[in-house]
Amino acid sequence: MKQVELSHGDLRFPALMAGEGETVLLLHGFPDSYRNWQQQLEALADAGYCAIAPALRGYAPDCQPRDGDYSLRAAVEDVLAFAAQLGGPVHLVGHDWGAVVAHLAAVRSPELFRSCSMLAIAPVKRLPAALLKVPEQLLRSGYMGFFQLPLVPEWLLRRNGLAGVKWLWRRWSPGWDPADHLDEAYRTLAQPGVLTAALGWYRHLPRVWTGSNRQARSWLASPARVPTMVLLGMQDGCMSHRLIDDNINLKDFPAGLRVEKIAGVGHFLHLEKPERINDLLLAHLRQYSGDCN
């Protein structure tokens, strides 16, 4: 495993790389670190893939844009640049925000991707309608409204050695000890500007009037022409697994869709049960290896 760098324009994204073969791009979520994909990187490398896990936009000082653009459009454009830099087409694996970005990127430019795997997040196209049938999700998502406040969320999350981040991890994956994984998240979020950048992703969501948000919504009008797998933890305290029950129309996935609900895990399912998740990822990747869609 080695430290490398991906780029988009003048932004530089630190990344971990392991193995040789078809490329698998792994996108982390919040509040997390690209370095927490190590168990997946090792498993993918052992299976004959070249696995690369970059920091998302803002999660390192050198990939914080001067204009503060943390829109989904900008994040998708980063991933498209990565795929082109890596010689595409590539496999996509995303967790949390990384799953949303992976899905949108696959819809936007299916020719660049062999497969898409979404962890902990149901497909977003029909999510607003699904919320009406899963009212407890409104309570679970309350933190997103809180993050719209200026300065206060940073203060609360950062105080007492990032105790607020630990609280989120514990709430979202109840009964699991994150140990060193949480330490990696601390190290990432403690870097200059990273915590505010990470919250910037949430603060861009309500800006529905912007061109970037309109474009991201327009992508969702198109079907996902990349084979897709969705993995959800049954004990996820952030996103209810029930959202998938009223959130799927197979016409949205003409290239195929597989959904797996994993018992005994929460939001950070790939860290809680890495062997189980790695097996599912490898099975999905192997099914579409060599298929350039």
Q: DSSP E strands: which ranges in the chain? A: 2-8, 11-18, 22-27, 49-54, 90-95, 113-119, 228-233, 257-262
* C-alpha to C-alpha distance for 47 and 280, rounded to whole angstroms: 13
pLDDT score recorded for residue 292: 40
The fraction of the chain above a pLDDT of 90, given in percent, is 79
Output the CA–CA distances (angstroms, integers) from residue 260 to 75, 241, 244, 280, 288, in the order listed. 26, 10, 10, 9, 18
Q: Is residue 291 a contact partner of residue 114, using CB atoms and an 8 Å limit?
A: yes
Structure tokens that stand for 45 in this block: 């490398």
* C-alpha to C-alpha distance for 292 and 91, rounded to whole angstroms: 10
Q: How confident is the model at residue 149 (pLDDT cuts 50, 70, 90)?
A: very high
| Model pLDDT for residues 14-71, shown as the tens digit of each residue | 999 999 999 999 999 999 999 999 999 999 999 999 999 999 999 999 999 999 999 9
Average pLDDT, the chain: 93
Which sign does the torsion angle of CA 128, 247, 252, 107 carry? Answer: positive
| Model pLDDT for residues 183-209, shown as the tens digit of each residue | 999 999 999 999 999 999 999 988 877
* C-alpha to C-alpha distance for 91 and 213, rounded to whole angstroms: 25
